[in-house]
Structure 1
């Protein structure tokens, strides 16, 4: 495990002590701290005024009860969260996650990562994250609606287009955003379109928002490949997950000439050596809401379904972990390197463990960390806010062109920052330092608050 700068060791110890048991949050903080020693060496003043301690402490943490009734009349109680982490650059901005694994530590790690990710976009947005330990899988539309309405009844008092602007995340798509926006409008008696992003096109959403995280990750990896004189064209790719991010990562890889041979869900993964049939997997996941095993059943010969295995056993040139945190382990990384992987782009938030990242870096694999590579979703959310504020609606092509420019700029910022601090090609260090400096400079300008 890399050594921390001696000035950062007591700060990390304090974070761990004050946030006991929140291992994902500890992991996210340590990963950033491992890069900050280089900054402290050049700018020791960043260690003054408890600046780093303040960056690690959320401005506000909200935990609340969410009661709701299922279709049989039975009452259920879930727990809702919103961590408003940092507003130095703008209103809190970050998704809402509905998943049984959600707890305050998960939300804090996501909010911490979001703060730096949002800073890298160059857009005027701060960092936050929210969610609930509710599982929408297997629930009827009416049950999901009642849950979303109950959740928003409490959360609404903490939101506003100049205060906090949530979006979707795992378990929260267009359906859930629509129900929450409707309840917010009902409670406030205002059509405040900019208070939620990821909305449907019929009520203030942005074209290309659905595709943005997956497209953006692919643009980032394409930029990394170009530094080595390569591209996606002809590359064999594996994309974990089969949700929104994974589906549109696959779509853009195919548009760039790559072939996606495997994707997954929480039950297992499929391998199609001819290349995943994008329209079929979209139909299964977005319309039928079924498992990826259904793909293998429908395709038949030539397609494999492997339950409970590791998708990273499938040989590939490019790996795109796009499911959830810590899904790609050190052992998985060793397998990928042995099988010849040349680039990895994180579509999910912190999907690679610290051990996996070290394996990739030691092997000189191009590695795009999530806070940079998957920033396209929140960047396009900020573009949605911009359109809402102007009472405007852009074309898909106009929005995607802005997204492509933003992702290239993020790539170049990370690469140039890594070079400046003596670690050329280290996108992890470049992303951490560039994001930290932008947030830190804004915080210093605002005084000790």
Structure 2
């Protein structure tokens, strides 16, 4: 049963929404939020504050939940070893991957959004672990798009278990009392790769034949009947995947391979866009509403490519970049660099601002719990496992809001309860 509710208009909160928020504790900011002129309130819709932030301990795997609207840590779920976390596209769930236990499972965010023509209904309830657990050899990449969540299992060369992908519908995950049955797609052999559900089947990476390191070299479309069709052009040394609306981008040695449905239906087609300058990407971040994909390009540069046209730009960050992400509005990229600084890169102008001393200098690669980064429209959350802190940063003026002392070794972090497609930040947004 939902215990909190809010009705928010797309161009600003309705009067009834504020009454409901006051009476029932819904996650929509108060009507006197910010004493500035009304136009400033209208320009940035406050319903993003419905978000919750999930933080996983890098040793125990326990997950702590922070509610942005309540400005409080509201829940703690026990863990059983280190996990990686990935927010689903809707923000309703996080997929938790446990390599040590060869399984993946899901966390309910406790936030549900029902968008209508001119308003949103926002419901909030207690976060909890979902009943579904998916087992497989060497769980790795997670891709969420088009209402489907895909978990990729790399397989095992030792016992000949091939790589495979499990696809789960978010709609089915929302049904209380029922445990979804995943759809499985099997790859040719064990390898390090990724997969993404698409209409009529799934995209699966292809292993490089005879490669002892298990690299991937391209992408195949496997339909719901199990038949595979190779997507051309190839993708040598494939190392990452990201969804962008109905497209999926893959990081290759020689550019970004964008795969999308063929015109008129009947399969998928791929287009290769070159990188803007020297280097190659290893990590990609997609932003569906804008149609852009962002990636690293060497240790201290990032790029942005329009998935539809290939138009691109390169930004030199000025320091070794360990973590990066695009904020939900798609206006800027944020990065945590090895010198301990937090940087904002404006896509429109290339301007870079920096907040120094956010964490102590650190190596991007290493063993043990690592730093994490998650973004809401107006806040960034950075984990500091060495000090047991979660750092909350205002991303507009780049100032530290609070150092949350969580204890333990906070590492992985994701934002839940937000969907970049319905944040409704400006008047008239749909």
Normalization by structure 2: what TM-score? 0.29
- Structure with bigger helix share is 1
Question: Which structure carries more relative contact order (alpha carbon 8 Å, separation 6+)?
Answer: 1
The structure with the largest strand share of the pair is 2
